[in-house]
Structure 1
Amino acid sequence: MSDLPTHPIRFADLPTRKRSHFTIEPDSDGRKAIARTIGVLKVKKLRFDGALIPTGKRDWRIEATLGATISQACVISLDPVTTRIDEEITRSYISDFDKRDDTSDDTEVEMIEDDTTDPLPETLDLIDVIAEALVLTMPPYPRKEGIEAETVGVTEPGKAVMTDEDARPFARLAVLRAAAESKNEGPGDEPNKDED
């Protein structure tokens, strides 16, 4: 069983004519569980402050501010890297989300990709919203300041390591052209020289 804290919201229980405000600040154990869930070393501070706003007859929107200080492992040295996250979070929950794709005729409809809109669930856990927002906003490849990646060359024994120059798309063509030119010159031929 997960020790992740929960903060469930049942939309049917919310007033439909006004905002429902919330503030979530998980305790130390809750932050540790969130850190394990999102794969970081530590969540030092965390606050999610906002409102659930009714839109239309049965649709909802979350407008909130996410503030967090997290510690991740450097992708090169594995040393801890601290990152401060301050993000405005917006999520929309649409009751007839699946009907948006239905069309009564064969006309093409261009859908706008919106990764902040989801189907309206019966119950929404705001801790899940926090975890998702942290994953989307934290650095994917944290690097400690002053740490540089080393170049590693791996090849079969006795063969030269491939260089960046070798990897260029036309590098092989240049090698073939040089080989063809040297073949055409022959052993005793000299390149053409202008005669005066």
Structure 2
Amino acid sequence: MEKQDSPEFSRPVAVETVKEEGAFAIEATPAERENLARRLGIVSVDRLSADLRLRRQMGAMVRLEGEFAAEVTQACVVTLAPVHSRIAAAVDRRYGPAEALTETDAEDISLEDEDPPEVLVGGVIDLGEAVSEQLALEIDPFPRAEGAEFPGYSSGPEPVEKAKSPFAALEDLLKKQK
């Protein structure tokens, strides 16, 4: 994966321009969708749009919330046929300056807790990059075309033969001795 100077889908917002709350509707251009598909390793991103809100919280913290919708085309992992899917998901992140983040935010992370805040770099939050990262998490890692099968391999665990109980084994021994 090659490193770029700026993300494929970038919509930077200076936090200082957001008073209490700001609403943003963003949509990726065809060129941005093409570059994003290349980055994500999929056939195409056919549509990507989001409705987002930035809201100031206590201190220097800012919360990004909203929803995005995407249509993507991936190659089937069995046949390489195109697999079209629609994705609708939420985006929910917190941002804060590095000095506002505590040691516990980075060390004591629990699955039940809210994600730790992202470091706010240069006073700017890139809405497009946040949506792109969430899209990458939502994409099916193993898309399959309808009816696609991989002969010779199961799509699930093989049935396990039930083991005999120790008493059944003893009973078999007793029968053999008689």
Bin for the TM-score computed over the shorter chain: 0.7 to 0.9
Shift of 1:15: 3.0
Shift of 1:120: 2.7
Question: Is the alpha carbon distance of 1:116 and 1:134 closer, same or farther for their aligned partners in structure 2, counting shifts above 3 Å?
Answer: farther
Letter in 1 for 2:17: L
Whether 2:51 is the aligned partner of 1:49: answer: yes
Whether 2:122 is the aligned partner of 1:119: answer: no
Describe how 1:24-39 pairs up with structure 2 within 5 A. Answer: 24-39=26-41
Judge conservation of contact 2:71–2:86 (CA < 8 Å) in 1: yes
- Counterpart CA distance in 2 for 1:116 and 1:67 is 25
Task: State the structure with bigger RCO (CA 8 A, min sep 6), 1 or 2.
Answer: 2
Judge conservation of contact 2:76–2:82 (CA < 8 Å) in 1: yes
Q: SS of the counterpart of 1:133? A: helix
Unaligned runs of 5+ in 2: none
Whether 2:171 is the aligned partner of 1:137: answer: no
Judge conservation of contact 2:60–2:100 (CA < 8 Å) in 1: no
Question: Is the alpha carbon distance of 1:116 and 1:78 closer, same or farther for their aligned partners in structure 2, counting shifts above 3 Å?
Answer: farther
Output the TM-score relative to the length of structure 2.
0.74
Aligned residue for 1:106?
Answer: none
Aligned residue for 1:15?
Answer: 18
- Counterpart CA distance in 1 for 2:116 and 2:103 is 15
Q: SS of the counterpart of 1:58? A: coil
Q: SS of the counterpart of 2:59? A: coil
Shift of 1:27: 1.3
Shift of 1:117: 3.3
- Counterpart CA distance in 2 for 1:92 and 1:133 is 14
Choose 1 or 2 for highest CA Rg: 1
Aligned residue for 2:69?
Answer: 67
Shift of 1:170: 6.7
Shift of 1:98: 3.4
Shift of 1:6: 2.1
Letter in 2 for 1:120: L
Q: Relative to structure 2, which stretch is displaced further, 2-11 or 20-29?
A: 2-11
Letter in 1 for 2:14: R
Judge conservation of contact 1:97–1:118 (CA < 8 Å) in 2: no
Output the TM-score relative to the length of structure 1.
0.68
Runs (4+) of structure 1 moved beyond 6 Å? 167-171
Judge conservation of contact 1:41–1:71 (CA < 8 Å) in 2: yes
Judge conservation of contact 1:63–1:88 (CA < 8 Å) in 2: yes
- Counterpart CA distance in 2 for 1:85 and 1:78 is 20
Match for residue 10 of structure 2 among 6, 10, 18: 6
Question: Is the alpha carbon distance of 1:115 and 1:72 closer, same or farther for their aligned partners in structure 2, counting shifts above 3 Å?
Answer: farther
- Counterpart CA distance in 2 for 1:110 and 1:4 is 30
Instruction: Give percent identity, aligned residues only.
Output: 26
Q: How far does the alpha carbon of each residue in 1:27-72 deviate from its partner, in whole angstroms, 9 at most, with x for none?
A: 1111101111111111111101111111112110111110100001
- Counterpart CA distance in 1 for 2:87 and 2:29 is 18
